[in-house]
Amino acid sequence: MEQLLLHLRSLGFTEMESKIMVELAAIGQSSGYEVAKRLGVSRSNVYAALQRLTQQGYVRCGDGEPARYSALDPDELAKMISGRVQASLAFVENEMPRGGSVSTTFYNVEGERNVMDALIRQLNAAEHEIIVDVWREEASLLRSELEQAERRGVRLLWAFDGGNAASTYLPWPPLEERESEGRKFSFVVDRRWCMLGMRGGEGDGTVQAVVTEHRVLVELLLGHFTQEMVLFELEQDMGPELERRYGHRYGSIYRKYIGSDGEDEEDLMEIQTPGNTRDDS
């Protein structure tokens, strides 16, 4: 019941109108007095809401004294609402001014539903290319949208395979201890829009992301993918030679710039920072 009322309110009906429509649909033809009594609210509020619903065509009012009201069949109600919403959307799309310039900025998006909605809109609008860097869990949530994009001819490029493999590089050691921050993800759509975020943490299901068309972040993520792409090809072609010269996961280069004196590769291998490996544990 609560879900039904919530969806009716999201379609523009007030809480009172939503309750009246559900009540009439469940009980059948009733007078305003009977509806008010069953809902436990004032008759004046019920009659005012019934008048609005009747004028808009969502409720029928029969002749007689007292007047008796009835709800439309669900199919008829859905068609009426859908038709009016589509007409309004078409008008807004055609008439909304487009002349104002908007400066490129960064937007914070919080909550799984809000993040997914923002991402799915862009995936569905993609025309040329989508670069994806996600874990398997997140990829499964977007499987349908990504498959639809491929069917439209959009090219999908994966920065990682989403499996259990460790990062190509040794992780940066944290300067102070911190709890796990969850799984990182990023998307670049048509080389102009991007999202960078984190899903979950230590016992926390929070989802947060930054969304922007700013060239700084778009080019940063594109550069990261280019780096992964080049290294992948080099490792496929020269893997043993690279490991012989630079150590496992480029440990000798890592120690030169990041590792402390006295650290050996085994110590570095044990350093883990959140989001830098693709382990499922």
Domain ranges of the chain: 2-83, 106-270
Sheet bearing 183-189, strands edge to edge: 106-110, 204-212, 193-201, 183-189, 129-133, 155-158
**Structure confidence at residue 277 as a pLDDT band (50, 70, 90):** very low
Confidence (pLDDT) at 268:
44
Judge whether residue 183 has pLDDT over 80: yes
Mean pLDDT of 191-204: 81
Judge whether residue 122 has pLDDT over 60: yes
Its pTM surpasses 0.95: no
In sequence order, what are the beta bridge partners of 198? 184, 208
Confidence (pLDDT) at 213:
93
Q: How far is CA 238 from CA 226, 232, 244, 265, in A?
A: 18, 10, 10, 21
Cα separation, 202 vs 167, whole angstroms = 20
Judge whether residue 139 has pLDDT over 90: no
CATH architecture for segment(s) 2-83: Orthogonal Bundle (1.10)
**Structure confidence at residue 265 as a pLDDT band (50, 70, 90):** very low
Judge whether residue 237 has pLDDT over 70: yes
Q: Tokens 């493999």 identify what position?
A: 165
Mean pLDDT of 139-150: 90
| Phi/psi-derived region of residue 103, left when phi > 0, alpha when psi is between -120 and 50, beta in every other case | beta
Interval 95-108: pLDDT, tens: 988 776 666 789 99
Cα separation, 1 vs 10, whole angstroms = 14
Cα separation, 266 vs 254, whole angstroms = 12
Sheet bearing 30-31, strands edge to edge: 30-31, 68-71, 59-61
How many other C-beta atoms lie within 10 A of the C-beta of residue 81? 16
Judge whether residue 262 has pLDDT over 80: no
Mapped onto helix, strand or coil, the DSSP state of residue 100 is coil
Confidence (pLDDT) at 159:
75
Judge whether residue 19 has pLDDT over 90: yes
**Structure confidence at residue 160 as a pLDDT band (50, 70, 90):** low
Residue (of 8, 57, 50, 48) closest to 31 by Cα position = 50
Residue (of 23, 271, 27, 32) closest to 167 by Cα position = 271
Q: Spelled out in words, what is the top-level CATH class assigned to the domain 106-270?
A: alpha beta
φ/ψ (deg, to 5) at 2: -60, -40
Average pLDDT, the chain: 83
Question: Which DSSP category does 73 fall into?
Answer: P
**Structure confidence at residue 172 as a pLDDT band (50, 70, 90):** low
Mean pLDDT of 19-45: 93
- 27 HSE (CA, 13 A, CB side): 19
